[in-house]
Structure 1
Amino acid sequence: MSNSRQLRLGAFMRPISIHTAAWRYPGAFPDANFNFKHLTRFAQTLERGRFDAFFMADHLAVLNMPLQALKRSATVTSFDPLTLLPALAVVTEHLGLIATASTTYNEPYHVARKFASLDHLSGGRAGWNIVTSGNPDEAMNFGLDEHVDHATRYRRAREFYDVVTGLWDSWADDAFIRDVEAGVYFDPEKLHVLNHSGEFLKVRGPLNVARPIQGWPVIVQAGASDAGRQLAAETAEVIFGAGSNLVSARAFYADVKGRMQSLGRPRDHLKVLPGAFVVVGDTVEDAREKRMRLDSLVHYDSAIASLSVMLGHDASAFDPDGPLPPIPESNASKSGRERIVELAERENLTVRQLAQRVGGLAFVGTPQTIADQMEEWLLTDACDGFNILFPYLPAGLDDFVGRVVPELQRRGIFRREYEGATLRENLGLPRPENRFFPLRAEHPEQSAGLESPPR
């Protein structure tokens, strides 16, 4: 049976599992986040499962938590994503490669150049996850004493996006004529110098890399605050969405898609993919036991430190067996804090229970029950797919690809083969038109699929 709605699946890798105890689970690879051989295996397994993308999270500082807790974290060290993903491009053929790059602690020329290079090296499979940096300790690695405030970070991000995409449009698609006989390598009429000067950034350009194969790498965004939603509506093509339950997910989906429409952007030019932590078992009870075993390996020091990071407030002094007290505003991620507070109130969790539950939406069950839930979310406008968070690797990934993916395919809601050669083609996203060198086709059908960039 075929369904017109098709799931899009990303794999949220940090660079492996987000779960604090994933490296301790029986059979897991403790060194997987810094072992290229293991990461190659994971990427190739994802491709065998027809995943859209390997989505690598990143941070520009050691996690801001006490050393007593930090010593238990497997993500204290990991590869730079824009070093790792080009290497993974060589050992894969279809899998999208999405990397996080901060707009607060980077320069746009660097970001534009690296992602354009990745897009060419991968044959058009790159994606840029725009973040404004939630970890306040990142500031101290870039010459500042304190984190840039939330509102300023988002204003800079919006300008940063304009500069990066403007740099990607430095060259017309057909600028490089390479006329050997005439000795002309490129047409100077098809080169644009950006000359941007704004509130935060001054960048001349042009970029010294040809226009990316996809026009632009796919733009991904993860903020769920009001500022984050607006940035996504204006710029994003994939959003790592919020929502730990159907009601809140549908509201988020409707809000972001509605903002797009008000800006004149087609709704299907943005894919909403909430994160989903998935544990697969032979029975629902078996899956729950796996989750309980995994959670039991989380030391309280680590759990409460992770909760503190999400809340942007030190939770170590809270009564572990009491309710979550009021949390003051901070300069950390507003959407992350709101999700945690909402979860605590909705399920009446103690601080200890909440610390172990951090992670949001979870599908814990058999391949059939997991597929049931995913299908319901897809068909009731709660999402366009999911970013899957694996509980431990390799088994959690192997279980999903070997058992859940065939069930989704049987229901006709997930591909059996990749639709195209690029990440955009597989996600069903148009190729952006060059804002400085718009296609002037003799026949209207030649420009089909091209979209003017959102402004």
Structure 2
Amino acid sequence: MSVPRTLHLNTNVTGTGRHPAGWRTLDNPKSITDLGFFAKIAQIAERGKLDAVFLSDALALRGQAHGPAQSLEPTVLLTALAGVTRHVGLIGTASTTFNDPFNLARRFASVDHLSAGRVAWNAVTTYDPDAAANFSIARSPDKQERYARAEEFVDVVLKLWDSWEDGALVADQASGRYADPARVHAIAHHGRHFQVRGPLNLPRSPQGRPVLVQAGGSDAGVALAARHADAVFTAQTTFDGAQQFYRDIKARAAVHGRNPDHLLVLPGLYPVVGGTLSEARQRKAEMDALLDRGAELAKFAGALGVHAEDLNLDAQLPYDLIDKGNRSDVSQGFIHSTVRLARSENLTVRELLHRNPGAHRMVVGTPETIADDIERWFTGRAADGFNLNADVFPAGLADFVDHVVPLLQRKGIFRRDYEGTTLREHYGLPRPPSRYGDAEAPEDIVATSSGAVF
């Protein structure tokens, strides 16, 4: 007998909110560095029984003269949020381009222990040349290089997270035996990009290993997600396109011998909630009035790989000029979702800008229309849930939690309370065994580098 599907909802924190001018409406416009601000977001998410708080990340200062981005180091912030919440999951973004597998595996495993099993790593590659310049790299790696490194990087991290079996930490005070060396394994990884002996210097985390999320819409990104990810954060703007993506990535997961139900598809969604449609539109209009239109046009053009002068506000996109996948300094996921939306509704540049383009679908409406829209995508298998983008925090998230979540609960598709304690349990994912539990490991560890035997 199959278990009924349950909707999954994260709140996606990219700064003070998705709307570029939302920060101008806040009592504290400098809240981007205020722990209390982020704590309130996490506590509202937990009050709404959401699966997780999802932190974005950026490795270079870009465009912040026009608005704030989420710039606190994600694992540091998640550690602080773990101390002011009890249930909600904690997802942090970290790049495979500008990190080291051992250090990253250790950081996320540490927070998973400290949060009692509520952490996920959102693995991304970084195409930003400004970020490369911050890491002593003269040239940003091209797409093929980035994803080849990412594949190996993720493989190493997963091996490290598995390097301690369940039960390896004995801590027997009577005998003085701290760990079972037969259950702690070197990974002995020797690859093109990394040579890592292992094991990790932490025992297995409460979830077995942290949840792995992947964000990215390129073919290489989708292939990486299908092979490894527990959840994929994707940009989908049309129902038919989302259904196609859903079927495709689930089928790819099955090819790798995985249960497709154990790969959650979570598109971004940008709801603007009002008591009436008129109120919702007015809410958005008031924020739009605070925008720097020229800056928004330039940012939009750059994301599409064109110049601002190439865009005519009252014409369609210059489809012939938009990057077709050859450039490494633009997001193919953003381009694909934006072009799909523009073509499906025959939108002009001005109409696209009105959607505050961020590649994620915007729904402006009442709690009822937004809940109905979410139900349609969920039951139509266009999504397993959504990464919610509030227009401005914390008000936008509070409106969703207080007015939309009860309707989703009434529909019977969203939880009324947490039934587990870990993020894996929130997501309905099984706890994975260590890969070394039933097979001979590359090398057992019987002593530390200092010679101390377990």
- Whether the 8 Å CA contact 1:8–1:414 is kept in 2: the answer is yes
- Whether the 8 Å CA contact 2:127–2:142 is kept in 1: the answer is no
**1-structure distance, mates of 2:419, 2:175:** 40
User: Which residue is equivalent to 1:382?
Assistant: 382
Query: Within the alignment, does 1:86 sit opposite 2:85 as a pair?
Result: no
C-alpha deviation, 1:309, in angstroms: 4.2
**1-structure distance, mates of 2:41, 2:243:** 31
User: Which residue is equivalent to 1:41?
Assistant: 40
Residues 11-36 of structure 1, C-alpha deviations (whole Å, 9 max, x = no match): 000144122111023x5642232111
Query: Within the alignment, does 1:58 sit opposite 2:51 as a pair?
Result: no
Gaps of 5+ in 2: 441-454
User: Which residue is equivalent to 1:350?
Assistant: 348
Structure 2 counterpart of 1:264, from 246, 257, 273: 257
What amino acid is aligned across from residue 408 of structure 1 in structure 2? L
**2-structure distance, mates of 1:429, 1:315:** 45
User: Which residue is equivalent to 1:452?
Assistant: none
User: Which residue is equivalent to 1:249?
Assistant: 242
User: Which residue is equivalent to 2:195?
Assistant: 202
User: Which residue is equivalent to 1:450?
Assistant: none
**1-structure distance, mates of 2:276, 2:339:** 31
Structure 2 counterpart of 1:327, from 322, 337, 354: 322
User: Which residue is equivalent to 2:451?
Assistant: none
- Whether the 8 Å CA contact 1:28–1:395 is kept in 2: the answer is no
Structure 2 counterpart of 1:237, from 230, 233, 236: 230
Residues 267-322 of structure 1, C-alpha deviations (whole Å, 9 max, x = no match): 11011111000111111122122122222322123312331342244435533444
What amino acid is aligned across from residue 378 of structure 2 in structure 1? L
1:436-451 residue pairs with structure 2 within 5 A?
Answer: 436-438=436-438
What amino acid is aligned across from residue 55 of structure 1 in structure 2? F
User: Which residue is equivalent to 2:449?
Assistant: none
User: Which residue is equivalent to 2:160?
Assistant: 167
1:279-318 residue pairs with structure 2 within 5 A?
Answer: 279-315=272-308, 318=311
**1-structure distance, mates of 2:97, 2:171:** 38
User: Which residue is equivalent to 2:420?
Assistant: 420
Q: Secondary structure of the residue that 1:435 maps to in structure 2?
A: coil
Q: Secondary structure of the residue that 1:240 maps to in structure 2?
A: strand
**2-structure distance, mates of 1:155, 1:343:** 30
Structure 2 counterpart of 1:220, from 208, 213, 233: 213
Residues 375-398 of structure 1, C-alpha deviations (whole Å, 9 max, x = no match): 111111100111100001222111
- Whether the 8 Å CA contact 1:233–1:256 is kept in 2: the answer is yes
The alignment's TM-score, normalised by the length of structure 1, stands at: 0.91
Query: Within the alignment, does 1:186 sit opposite 2:173 as a pair?
Result: no
What amino acid is aligned across from residue 426 of structure 2 in structure 1? N
- Whether the 8 Å CA contact 2:188–2:198 is kept in 1: the answer is yes
From the superposition, tell whether residues 388 and 29 of structure 1 become closer, same or farther in structure 2 (CA, over 3 Å): farther
Q: Secondary structure of the residue that 2:122 maps to in structure 1?
A: strand
- Whether the 8 Å CA contact 1:29–1:394 is kept in 2: the answer is no
**1-structure distance, mates of 2:277, 2:354:** 20
Query: Within the alignment, does 1:71 sit opposite 2:65 as a pair?
Result: yes
User: Which residue is equivalent to 2:450?
Assistant: none
Q: Report the RMSD for the aligned CA atoms in angstroms.
A: 1.9
Q: Secondary structure of the residue that 2:53 maps to in structure 1?
A: strand
Residues 209-251 of structure 1, C-alpha deviations (whole Å, 9 max, x = no match): 1111111111101112211111111011111122112111111
Q: Secondary structure of the residue that 2:169 maps to in structure 1?
A: coil
Q: Secondary structure of the residue that 2:172 maps to in structure 1?
A: coil
- Whether the 8 Å CA contact 2:237–2:338 is kept in 1: the answer is no
Q: Secondary structure of the residue that 2:308 maps to in structure 1?
A: coil
Residues 356-403 of structure 1, C-alpha deviations (whole Å, 9 max, x = no match): 420331121111111111111111110011110000122211111111
What amino acid is aligned across from residue 29 of structure 2 in structure 1? P
User: Which residue is equivalent to 1:361?
Assistant: 361
Percent of residue pairs bearing the same amino acid type: 46
1:27-38 residue pairs with structure 2 within 5 A?
Answer: 27=26, 29-38=28-37
Residues 31-84 of structure 1, C-alpha deviations (whole Å, 9 max, x = no match): 232111111111111100000000000011112x5xxxx411212x62111110
**2-structure distance, mates of 1:383, 1:116:** 28
From the superposition, tell whether residues 29 and 150 of structure 1 become closer, same or farther in structure 2 (CA, over 3 Å): same
What amino acid is aligned across from residue 399 of structure 2 in structure 1? D
Residues 338-371 of structure 1, C-alpha deviations (whole Å, 9 max, x = no match): 2222333333333343334203311211111111
From the superposition, tell whether residues 309 and 421 of structure 1 become closer, same or farther in structure 2 (CA, over 3 Å): farther
From the superposition, tell whether residues 95 and 15 of structure 1 become closer, same or farther in structure 2 (CA, over 3 Å): farther
C-alpha deviation, 1:259, in angstroms: 0.8
